[in-house]
Amino acid sequence: MRDDPGFKPPPYPYDRLDELKPLADHHEGGIVDCSIGTPIDPPPDQVIKALASSGMERSYPPSIGTPAFRENVAAWAFRSFGCEIDPDSQIAAAVGTKEFVAGLPQWMKLRNPNRDTVLYPAVSYPSYEMGATLAGCRSVAVPVDENWSIQLDEVSEEDRSRALLLWVNTPGNPAGGLDDLDAVAAWGRRHGIPVFSDECYCEFTWEGPPRTILSSGAEGVVSVHSLSKRSNLAGVRVGFYAGDSEIVDYLREVRKHAGFMVPGPAQAAAVAALSDQGHVEQQRETYWNRLNRLSKLISNMGVDAPLPEGGFYLWVPAPGGDAWAFVEHLLVEVGLLASPGEFYGPSGAGYVRIAAVQTDDRIELLEQRLGMR
């Protein structure tokens, strides 16, 4: 009898682009990589200063976050959304948020072993599905509508009865859609399904004010946030989750046992970042300008590139529905690297995602190559 080969990790999506990058080699100035949402702009000076001078390098930091960190999260949430959340019982730190997304199904399965299904939007960040896979759970992609909003009425009775948790993402990555989070929270409460709302792009909402699932109360819901996008701190790895006190307390204790800790200097930097909204407003303007420039660039190539309702990605229909061919075309014509939509689920096939994360001079280089300058 042959041994079960066990789990074999699939290729990491963005590694699949490496073999295409030489297609841009003939362009002077090289490739302009818009495939990954990696912030390119510098963090505020006061954040770097706090990171360097915290004096918190020696001792182990609190796994749940320092009191100053949690209090500043609560103050930020009140300023941003008018939500009151208790820093002592409803907030905890995360090491960025990708590890939280990928690890959550495992921890929730231990809490509720009779359920085995993770629900998530059909067009979304691949870590929602991968987190389910790593926990040995079923992953069920919930359809989205023409505006890329999740359609919870499409969830079957069987999937509801087996659901361990539901992920939503507003504004959505990659398509920039906005969900009705009050309705999502009500659906979760009605069916007894915890809802986790990934809101790391909330401050880059272009249609209306920023939104959070906590606006309808914390019962049965948890919001998840990162400072990677709002404050250009992806390399520091600091985020947080907040909401239902029973769920948050459970996760805090599990993660404490597992040794998840945001480094002390990173927490000090986060306090400085959360205390300042000015740099976020500046970053909003920067991303909006870049989105407009990239949209015009793609339009000048004869392809419609609509602006998103939120986030800093263009979600562009590929000519003829062939996303990989369009990725190659962009590399050959202007040296721009985009991501094919299938990275974000089979329902994303036929689209490409373009991240507005290159500096103005790099975007100008693309415009020059197309004769727009």
Q: Do residues 260 and 292 share a domain?
A: no
Q: Do residues 365 and 216 share a domain?
A: no
Q: Is the pLDDT of residue 3 over 80?
A: no
Q: Do residues 327 and 183 share a domain?
A: no
- Single out the residue in 249, 274, 299 at which a domain terminates: 274
pLDDT at 4: 76
Percent of the chain with pLDDT over 70: 99
- pTM of model > 0.85: yes
**Is 8 within a domain?**
no
Q: Is the pLDDT of residue 1 over 60?
A: no
* Total Cβ atoms within 10 A of residue 362: 19
Three-state secondary structure call for residue 195: strand
- Single out the residue in 206, 240, 274 at which a domain terminates: 274
Mean of the per-residue pLDDT values for the chain?
97
Q: Cis omega (within 30 of 0) on the bond before 174?
A: yes
Q: What is the CATH number of the domain that holds 25?
A: 3.90.1150.10
Tens digit of pLDDT for each residue in 52-86? Answer: 999 999 999 999 999 999 999 999 999 999 999 99
pLDDT at 2: 61
Q: In sequence order, what DSSP letters do the residues of 327-347 get, joined into one string?
A: HHHHHHHH-EE-EEGGGG-GG
Distance CA 330, CA 308 (A): 20
Tens digit of pLDDT for each residue in 83-137? Answer: 999 999 999 999 999 999 999 999 999 999 999 999 999 999 999 999 999 999 9
Q: What is the mean pLDDT of residues 32-51?
A: 96
Label residue 46 by pLDDT band (50, 70, 90).
Answer: very high
Tens digit of pLDDT for each residue in 207-240? Answer: 999 999 999 999 999 999 999 999 999 999 999 9
Q: What is the mean pLDDT of residues 245-254?
A: 98
